[in-house]
Amino acid sequence: MQEFLQYLFSGVTNGAIYAVIALGFTMLYNATGLINFAQGEFVMLGALSMITLWKGLQLPLPAAFLLTVAVVALVGLLLERLAIRTVRKPHPIVLVIITIGASILLRGIAMLVWGKDAHSAPSFSRLAPIEIAGATLLPQSLWILGVVLAIVIGLQIFHRKTMTGKAMEACAISKRAASLLGIPSERMVLLAFALSAGMGSIGGVLIAPITMSSYDMGMMLGLKGFCAAMLGGLGSSWGAVFGGMMLGILEAMAVGFFSSDLRDAVAFFVLLLILYARPSGLLGVKAVQRF
Amino acid sequence: MRKLKYGFFLLVIMAAGLGITNSYYLQLLTFIGINTLLALGLNMLMGYAGQISLGHAAFYGLGAYTTAILTTALNWSPWLALPAAIVLVSLVAFLVALPMLKLSGYYLGMGTLGFGMITFILIRQWSTVTGGDSGLVGVPSLALGPLSLASGKAYFYLVWVVVLISFIVCERLVDSRVGRALRAIHDGEQVAAAMGIDTSRLKIGVFVLSAIFASVAGFLYVHLVSFISPNSCDFLVSVRLVTMVVIGGMASIWGSLLGASLLTILPESLHVFSDYEMIVYGLILMIIMIFLPQGLTRGLLDLYERSAAVYPRKVKSREPADE
Amino acid sequence: MNDSEPFAGKPQPILRVKSIAKAFGGIQALYNVTFEVATGAVHALIGPNGAGKTTLFNVITGAYAPEEGQVLYENSEIQGKKVHEVVSRGIARTFQNVELFGSMTVLENVLVGRHVRMRCGFWGAIGRWPRVRSEEREAREHARELLDFVGLGNMAEHRSTDLPFGWQRFLEIARALATQPRLLLLDEPASGLNAVETQQLGELLLQIRSRGITLLLVEHDMDLTMGISDRIVVLHQGQKLAEGPPREIQCNDDVICAYLGSDQEMSG
Amino acid sequence: MKAALNVLLKGLVILVLALLIGGIPSLSWSQNAYKIGGLFAITGPSSFLGEPEKKSMEMVVEEINAKGGIDGHLLEAVIYDTEGDPTKTVLAANKLISKDNVLAIIGPSLTPTTLAIVPVVEKEQVPLISCAAGIKITEPIKPWVFKTAQSDVLAVAAIYQHMQKQNIKKIGVLTVENAFGESGKEQLLAQAGPYGIEIVQAESFGGKDTDMTAQLTKIRSAQPQAIVCWGTNPGPAVIAKNVQQMNIKIPLYQSHGVASPKFLELAGDAAEGIFLPTGKILVTQQLPDTDLQKSVLVKYIEQYEKLYKMPVSGFGGYAYDAMNLLAKALQGSDGNKEKIRDALEKIKGFVGVSGTFNFSPRDHNGLGSDAFVMVQIQKGNWKLLSP
């Protein structure tokens, strides 16, 4: 029993990380219909800049946190303004390549700024690991869960209650129709990129204490985050959290009960299963193909 | 007209083979040839049929590993391992394509990416047979009967003759009923179906064809370097393949040659940037995609046409329907 | 517009639509629609916007599978069959808003229409055996004939999207004819055409019929529809309201009310 | 008309490519210099190996040139970055041999990239001194291929000898999913029997993974008396933290892969009490003065830290030894590759950073058990354990 609980806790810890990243994907997809392959790099930038600001310059935790999110959101802004908007015919393949190019560029810059080695950060709270029936849970993962839930609720309110939220969703459905109604769709997309980059950086900040952050941690995390978003249903925020948790627990169980070699394969196997069985994901709405 | 083009191409191969003696440049051109094969296959799938694949290095790896394992563990002759590799890769491609090609756009991209990652992980984990991460050593070199192809020059000719043949195959395919159907699928799949085209059968066909091209390229690579390891067929290699196609020019056969040459020479000449290599590579990708989305070939041709105004567009009048 | 006399005799109907029903989620797009199309006739399908005309087209061509009912084409069921199978049986269609293959020339677009009547596969294309070459030559001749037939003979090498809108409509008809159909479905072919082009379209459709091809036409242009149709079916809110020769339909009260609401006099 | 333009353009493009390749500037043309090739993974995931190796090689070349070179010939280091990619390494090796025509090659840093160029150096008969640890490099013996890194055989022997003294019988093993991890796992499994040790649970982890508690739980449930983690940063540091988090009390052994100050920084207080085998370089000051290697180590550390202002790493030592061994073999060879190879093979009793080298036609690694010593991390520092 103790093993099962420990696998569950480890699954929850990783799951919370995937959930935060998946939220970034879903957030951007909801607002622009795009999938940003550089989302993983925003997580990396968040983790590394947090370490520099908090551990390096000894800034207080909240200040370092807000500054990091602001910086990475700015990077997201620049990416959209310089790379995405200037594209004349935004064909999916073209956008995929541009975001992949952006992820390589960001990785190169991070390598110059933070060097090639890994960096670690102390956890937010000094609490000892919580012991439940022999299995231990890091307080940091509770931090992540808490923040993830806060983000999702914030998003729901943003999309349901605020005008900008609804306007952003309108832009995703049809940019032309939205701009005809006077919605500044260009600025909406800009805001969406900034928000999703900020969310990615929050993910990075939260996982910095748990893992070792290095300039090339972004790619694998990005891919796993996308699998989680797909599992939950691209476009639904609760789906992203649910998908992330499921993926984390599935991976931990695969390692626990089968063999740890299969760990990465699980994420992609689940992705393929979902793509074949239910492309709209577990919680996503089934897209009706009007002819 | 087409014969002249192939004749000219054959001439260039001969000239390069005789002219260049330095084995580094010969090997570089041979690698360009292998990458052109890969880019050509993927171009048929992405450029003509409009189906994106982010995991195509998996077929390159499968082709290479199949012949490597057959020629080292079971010491088959390479010329027997080649058809075996092609058959195996076509089977895998067919089984993957059946469910996969129902998807489109991002979903198809991610599905092929997932397949590529799973293949990479399986190759790496099955270390007893594939040699795992430290790779497979001692793959024999090729020989045509008595004539050994191990030397740089002989292999250069072999690779580029194969490239020429595949150019001919691709150009014939594109100018045929099948080629038109593929382009129709790219322009509008439902409309193509409404014209009586069995879209799923054709998409699977072109997917298997491009997998075969990749497996032949893998075969040629492993018998040249006589070594293969998982990280020459991982996700980043798939990204480089897609970039070759997209930069060279989608739906342009000669664009694949241009894209493959650029992407093979670039990392070599980027050595001078050392630490800045990644930044330069990322920037080049983005800049070309933003300003020349239809790729360099079309971009250069348009530039040439617009500047020389050589080809004004004539619009003739339309006669009424005759009785 | 000469008034063609009613079609004599009752040969075997080429198409029979029996109590078709189709719903999208809660919306009942079609309900209990039944009618027949006589071979060689020009049959029209009219009704206000949103009556379910295009949905019925998509059910017949196999794009949508109906919840209930049957579609019999030359006495065999085709509802739910794959779109390309329906086309190979001999049913071709055009689209409400023109859907041409932008990356190809005018001639290539029509050649795509020939696809279903040719047999060259991957190996044939690569090998280019004599049989393949002759099939290709014959297809090109047939395509040029069709282009001449619709008056676009000299536009063969232009990119299809370069043509003015009206000509694109005629190209789409030529492409549909290239599949050698016995039944041609036309989805608002006259929309976007000017007066002269509409008149030329009318003559073209009659010429197509004289080649023994049955036409099923969805059209809002009443002059054109009344002029060339042998029978008209009126759809309203997914149900069949009326059916009969043009003259009857013109003075049918239900039809007038469905189109114009209150009892305004419908212009002759 | 348009097709003609097409053909013209294609010809133009191919010509431009030829010029571009030809035009790549090759380095300085000093005629009589002995040119030595270097292939290291300077960027990419294994840069923690390549970068110190490149710096150490350049340092030795400068030192030798300052003393007038060898037999009057100055040394010239031509170094390319392999990024750990086999294809790039093969291309770079060919460039070194045919374009820069080097007398010998030092590196590459990884086993897969080394194995990729073994056929090239054997065919072109160029001596190669690899800095990678994989056994397959020198077994079976390849006449032109040598290596200076201690092989995993010796590291595992050092660990098992230490375990025997603590009479640890049952152990759990965690290895990283790359070439280093695989060759470590092979040795751990192979040598367990002779030392009377049983491996009760073997698991693996990804180099970039964020959490290994699942694997550790599985190992803990098999009740081992100790755990061996075989990997390179950052994975092992995460494992150290997880072990502390799960308050697993049994001793944790790491591999020489983490024998660098970086591990202490990453693992923090979780590193307390960890055992690991390492080259003597980390505990130079604690070595008794009688130790032959002490003077060589002190000289290397001082020189490196003065020149580059950053802590020295054991991995850099491999290239340092390789360059010095090569310098010794170059004397009196006047640039003949065959002579250099034979001279290398005859080197005996050469005291280097990684140990004392005794090459022979049957042993192209030349290191004995003195290459490794066991240390324990105590209060953030490496404590040499008496043998």
Do D273 and D160 lie in one domain? The reply is: yes
Query: What is the residue whose two structure tokens read 């990684």?
Result: D354
Closest residue, chain C, to B192 (C-alpha): C112
The reply to whether CATH 3.90.930 applies to domain A2-117+138-277 is: no
Q: Do A252 and D214 touch (CB under 8 A)?
A: yes
Banded pLDDT at B310 (limits 50, 70, 90): low
> Phi and psi for D232 in degrees, rounded to 5?
-120, 160
Q: Do A104 and B275 touch (CB under 8 A)?
A: no
Token digits for A150? Answer: 């806060």
Query: What is the residue whose two structure tokens read 């580029």?
Result: B160
Token digits for B64? Answer: 């290479």
The DSSP code for D247 is: T
Q: Do chains C and D touch (3 or more CB pairs under 8 A)?
A: no
Looking at residue C51, its amino acid is A
Kindly list the distances between the CA atom of residue A49 and the CA atoms of A71, A114, A215, B154, C20, in Å, as whole numbers in the listed order. 9, 9, 11, 53, 63
Q: Which of A2, A111, A212 sits opposite D238 (nearest CB)?
A: A212
Q: Mean pLDDT, to the nearest integer, of D304-311?
A: 87
A contacts of B242 (beta carbons < 8 Å): 93, 96-97
For the stretch D215-263, pLDDT in tens is: 888 888 889 999 999 988 788 988 998 888 888 888 999 998 888 888 8
User: Hey, which residues 282-321 in chain B have their CB within 8 Å of chain A?
Assistant: 282-286, 289-290, 293
How buried is residue D68: exposed, middle or buried, by Cβ count under 10 Å (0-12/13-18/19+)?
exposed
Q: Which of C61, C122, C139 sits opposite B209 (nearest CB)?
A: C122
Examine residue B30 and state whether it is found in any structural domain, yes or no.
yes
Give me the domain span that covers residue D252. 153-278
Inter-chain Cβ pairs, chain A and chain C, closer than 8 A: 5
Closest residue, chain B, to A266 (C-alpha): B118
User: Which residues neighbour B260 within 8 Å (Cβ) at sequence distance 6 or greater?
Assistant: B32, B35, B36, B38, B39, B244, B248
Mutate to test the interface with C, among B2, B94, B102, B177 (most CBs of C within 10 A): B177
Residue A100 has pLDDT above 60, yes or no: yes
How close is the nearest chain B Cα to the Cα of C43, in Å? Answer: 21
- Window from A242-251, C249-258, D33-42 with minimum mean pLDDT: C249-258
D contacts of A260 (beta carbons < 8 Å): 203-205, 214-215, 218
Secondary structure (DSSP) of A84-111: ITT-SS--HHHHHHHHHHHHHHHHHHHH
Into how many domains does chain D fold? 2
Q: Which of C24, C58, C63 sits opposite A288 (nearest CB)?
A: C24
Q: Do B293 and A276 touch (CB under 8 A)?
A: no
How close is the nearest chain C Cα to the Cα of B35, in Å? Answer: 22
Examine residue D206 and state whether it is found in any structural domain, yes or no.
yes
User: Hey, which residues 229-288 in chain A have their CB within 8 Å of chain C?
Assistant: 288
Token digits for A158? Answer: 């943003």
Q: Which residues partner with D275 through β-bridges?
A: D253, D376
Looking at residue D232, its amino acid is T
Q: Are A70 and A230 in contact (CB under 8 A)?
A: no
Q: Mean pLDDT, to the nearest integer, of B3-27?
A: 84
B contacts of C179 (beta carbons < 8 Å): 195-196
Q: Do A264 and D206 touch (CB under 8 A)?
A: yes
**CB atoms closer than 10 angstroms to residue B219:** 27
Q: Which of A93, A108, A291 sits opposite B282 (nearest CB)?
A: A108
At CB < 8 A and 24+ separation, what contacts does D133-137 make?
A: D133/D180, D133/D183, D134/B134, D134/D179, D134/D183, D135/D183, D135/D186, D135/D187, D136/B134, D136/B137, D136/D111, D136/D183, D137/D111
For the stretch B209-220, pLDDT in tens is: 999 999 999 999
Taking the Cβ of residue D282 and every Cβ of chain A, the question of whether any pair is shorter than 8 Å is answered with no
Examine residue D12 and state whether it is found in any structural domain, yes or no.
no
Taking the Cβ of residue A259 and every Cβ of chain D, the question of whether any pair is shorter than 8 Å is answered with yes
Do D160 and D144 lie in one domain? The reply is: no
Give the integer Cα–Cα distance in Å for A42 and D144. 47
Q: Are D337 and D76 in contact (CB under 8 A)?
A: no
Do D136 and D170 lie in one domain? The reply is: no
Q: Are C56 and C235 in contact (CB under 8 A)?
A: yes
A2-32 vs A218-232: helix crossing angle, rounded to 10: 80
Q: Is C242 left (phi over 0), alpha (psi -120 to 50) or beta?
A: beta
Do D143 and D43 lie in one domain? The reply is: yes
More confident residue, C130 or A276: C130
Taking the Cβ of residue B54 and every Cβ of chain A, the question of whether any pair is shorter than 8 Å is answered with yes
Q: Do D43 and B127 touch (CB under 8 A)?
A: no
Taking the Cβ of residue D203 and every Cβ of chain A, the question of whether any pair is shorter than 8 Å is answered with yes
Into how many domains does chain B fold? 1
For the stretch B49-78, pLDDT in tens is: 888 898 999 999 999 999 999 998 888 888
Kindly list the distances between the CA atom of residue B195 and the CA atoms of A24, C39, C146, C177, D192, in Å, as whole numbers in the listed order. 41, 22, 16, 10, 69
Examine residue D13 and state whether it is found in any structural domain, yes or no.
no
Examine residue B16 and state whether it is found in any structural domain, yes or no.
yes
Q: Per the omega criterion (within 30 degrees of 0), is the bond before C11 cis? A: no
Q: Which ipTM was obtained for this model? A: 0.82
Opening angle at CA A101, ends A99 and A102, nearest 5:
60
Residue spans per domain, chain A: 2-117+138-277
How buried is residue B102: exposed, middle or buried, by Cβ count under 10 Å (0-12/13-18/19+)?
middle
Banded pLDDT at D46 (limits 50, 70, 90): confident
Mutate to test the interface with B, among A85, A96, A106 (most CBs of B within 10 A): A96
Do D272 and D302 lie in one domain? The reply is: no
**CB atoms closer than 10 angstroms to residue C154:** 14
Q: Which of A83, A106, A275 sits opposite B290 (nearest CB)?
A: A83
How close is the nearest chain B Cα to the Cα of A216, in Å? Answer: 12
Inter-chain Cβ pairs, chain B and chain D, closer than 8 A: 124
Helix (H) or strand (E) holding D316: helix D314-330
Give the integer Cα–Cα distance in Å for C217 and C94. 10
Most confident of A127-141, A155-169, B285-299: A155-169
Q: Do D85 and B232 touch (CB under 8 A)?
A: yes
D contacts of A117 (beta carbons < 8 Å): 48, 233, 262
Q: Are D126 and D337 in contact (CB under 8 A)?
A: yes
**CB atoms closer than 10 angstroms to residue A217:** 25
Give the integer Cα–Cα distance in Å for C198 and C202. 6
> Phi and psi for C35 in degrees, rounded to 5?
-165, 170
Strands C42-46 and C214-218: parallel
User: Which residues neighbour C51 within 8 Å (Cβ) at sequence distance 6 or greater?
Assistant: C235, C236, C237, C238
CATH number of D235's domain: 3.40.50.2300
Residue A282 has pLDDT above 90, yes or no: no
Q: Which of B29, B267, B301 sits opposite D9 (nearest CB)?
A: B301
Examine residue B239 and state whether it is found in any structural domain, yes or no.
no
Looking at residue A161, its amino acid is K
Q: Do B103 and A279 touch (CB under 8 A)?
A: yes
Taking the Cβ of residue D265 and every Cβ of chain A, the question of whether any pair is shorter than 8 Å is answered with yes
Q: Helix, strand, or coil here: A290?
A: coil
How buried is residue D275: exposed, middle or buried, by Cβ count under 10 Å (0-12/13-18/19+)?
buried
How close is the nearest chain A Cα to the Cα of B269, in Å? Answer: 17
Q: Is D354 left (phi over 0), alpha (psi -120 to 50) or beta?
A: alpha
Q: Do D81 and B124 touch (CB under 8 A)?
A: no
Secondary structure (DSSP) of A56-83: IS---HHHHHHHHHHHHHHHHHHIIIII
Q: Are D318 and D261 in contact (CB under 8 A)?
A: no
D contacts of A224 (beta carbons < 8 Å): none
Give me the domain span that covers residue B93. 2-232
Q: Looking at residue C266, what is its pLDDT?
A: 46
Q: Are D240 and D252 in contact (CB under 8 A)?
A: yes
Mutate to test the interface with A, among B238, B289, B292 (most CBs of A within 10 A): B289
Q: Do D182 and B8 touch (CB under 8 A)?
A: no
Give the integer Cα–Cα distance in Å for B67 and B70. 5
Query: What is the residue whose two structure tokens read 């035009």?
Result: D23
Token digits for B160? Answer: 């580029």
User: Hey, which residues 96-135 in chain B have their CB within 8 Å of chain D?
Assistant: 124-125, 127, 132-135
Q: Which of B183, B196, B197 sits opposite C103 (nearest CB)?
A: B183
Q: Do chains B and D touch (3 or more CB pairs under 8 A)?
A: yes
**Which of D55, D40, D45 is CA-nearest to residue D89?**
D40
How close is the nearest chain C Cα to the Cα of B220, in Å? Answer: 22
Q: Are D13 and D53 in contact (CB under 8 A)?
A: no
Opening angle at CA D118, ends D117 and D120, nearest 5:
65
Residue A2 has pLDDT above 80, yes or no: no
Q: Looking at residue C268, what is its pLDDT?
A: 45
More confident residue, D9 or B253: B253
Give the integer Cα–Cα distance in Å for B184 and D282. 67
At CB < 8 A and 24+ separation, what contacts does D219-222 make?
A: D219/D172, D219/D174, D220/D172, D220/D246, D220/D248, D221/A2, D221/A3, D222/D170, D222/D172
Q: Do A291 and C25 touch (CB under 8 A)?
A: no
Examine residue D19 and state whether it is found in any structural domain, yes or no.
no
Do D163 and D255 lie in one domain? The reply is: yes
C contacts of A288 (beta carbons < 8 Å): 24-25
Per-residue pLDDT of chain C (268 residues; tens, 9 = 90+): 334 444 444 567 888 888 888 888 788 888 888 888 888 889 998 888 888 888 888 888 888 888 888 888 888 888 878 888 889 889 998 988 888 998 889 999 999 998 888 888 888 888 888 998 899 999 999 999 999 999 888 888 888 888 888 899 999 999 999 999 999 999 888 888 888 989 999 999 999 999 989 999 988 888 888 888 888 988 888 888 888 888 888 888 878 777 776 544 444 4
Opening angle at CA A184, ends A181 and A188, nearest 5:
120
Instruction: Tell me the Cα Rg of chain B.
Output: 21
Give the integer Cα–Cα distance in Å for B186 and C103. 9
Do D137 and D175 lie in one domain? The reply is: no
pTM for this predicted structure: 0.85
Examine residue D301 and state whether it is found in any structural domain, yes or no.
yes
Residue B164 has pLDDT above 50, yes or no: yes
Q: Do chains A and B touch (3 or more CB pairs under 8 A)?
A: yes
Q: Mean pLDDT, to the nearest integer, of A41-65?
A: 89
Q: Are D125 and D144 in contact (CB under 8 A)?
A: yes
Q: Which of B12, B133, B226 sits opposite D179 (nearest CB)?
A: B133
Strands D34-40 and D75-81: parallel
D contacts of B124 (beta carbons < 8 Å): 177
Chain C residues with CB within 8 Å of chain A CB: 24-25, 58, 63-64
Give the integer Cα–Cα distance in Å for C197 and C204. 10
A contacts of C24 (beta carbons < 8 Å): 288
> Phi and psi for D365 in degrees, rounded to 5?
-110, -40
B contacts of C116 (beta carbons < 8 Å): 195-197
Do D88 and D175 lie in one domain? The reply is: no
Examine residue D57 and state whether it is found in any structural domain, yes or no.
yes
Give the integer Cα–Cα distance in Å for A91 and A110. 29
Give the integer Cα–Cα distance in Å for C182 and C78. 15
Q: Looking at residue A134, what is its pLDDT?
A: 73
Q: Indicate the residue among D227, D244, D278 that finishes a domain.
A: D278
> Phi and psi for D126 in degrees, rounded to 5?
-120, 125
